Amino acid sequence: MNAVGAVVRAEEVEAVRTKTGASLKLLLDTGGSAPGLVRKMVEIPAGATFVGTASAGGELWFVVSGTASLDLENEPGPALSQDRGLWMPARAAYRVGVAELDLRLDIVTLPKAISESPSEPDPAADPRTPRISDLVHCDVETTGDRKFRVLFGPGRGCAVATQFVGEIPPGRAPDHSHPYDEVVLILSGEGVAHIDGVEHALTPGTCLHLPPGQLHCLENTGPGMLRVLGVFHPADSPAAKLQSHS
Same domain, 92 and 59: yes
Specify if 156 maps to a domain: yes
Is the same domain home to 181 and 218? Answer: yes
- Is 130 a member of any domain? no
Q: How many domains does the chain have?
A: 2
Give, for 132, the enclosing helix (H) or strand (E). strand 131-134
User: Do residues 196 and 161 both lie within one domain?
Assistant: yes
Same domain, 45 and 142: no
Asked if residues 10 and 35 have their Cβ atoms less than 8 Å apart, the reply is no
Cβ 24 vs Cβ 49: under 8 Å: no
Indicate whether 2 belongs to any domain: no
Partners of 2 in the β-ladder: none
Q: Are residues 161 and 75 in the same domain?
A: no
The type of residue at 143 is T
Residue 71 covered by a domain:
yes
**Is residue 129 in some structural domain?**
no
Q: What is the pLDDT of residue 242?
A: 55
Are 228 and 182 part of one and the same domain? yes
Dihedral, 14, 18, 24, 29 alpha carbons, nearest 10: -90
Please write the tens of the pLDDT for every residue from 172-224: 878 888 888 889 999 999 999 998 888 999 999 999 998 888 888 999 999 99
178 and 100 together in one domain: no
Q: Residue 29's domain is classified under what CATH number?
A: 2.60.120.10
Domain range for residue 230? 137-245
Residue 126 has pLDDT above 60, yes or no: no
Q: Is residue 122 part of a domain?
A: no
Name the average pLDDT for the chain.
86
- Of 59, 84, 116, the one marking the end of a domain is 116
**pLDDT per residue as tens digits for the range 157-186:** 888 899 999 999 999 878 888 888 889 999
Distance between CA atoms of residues 138 and 150, nearest Å: 6
Instruction: Indicate if 152 and 101 belong to the same structural domain.
Output: no
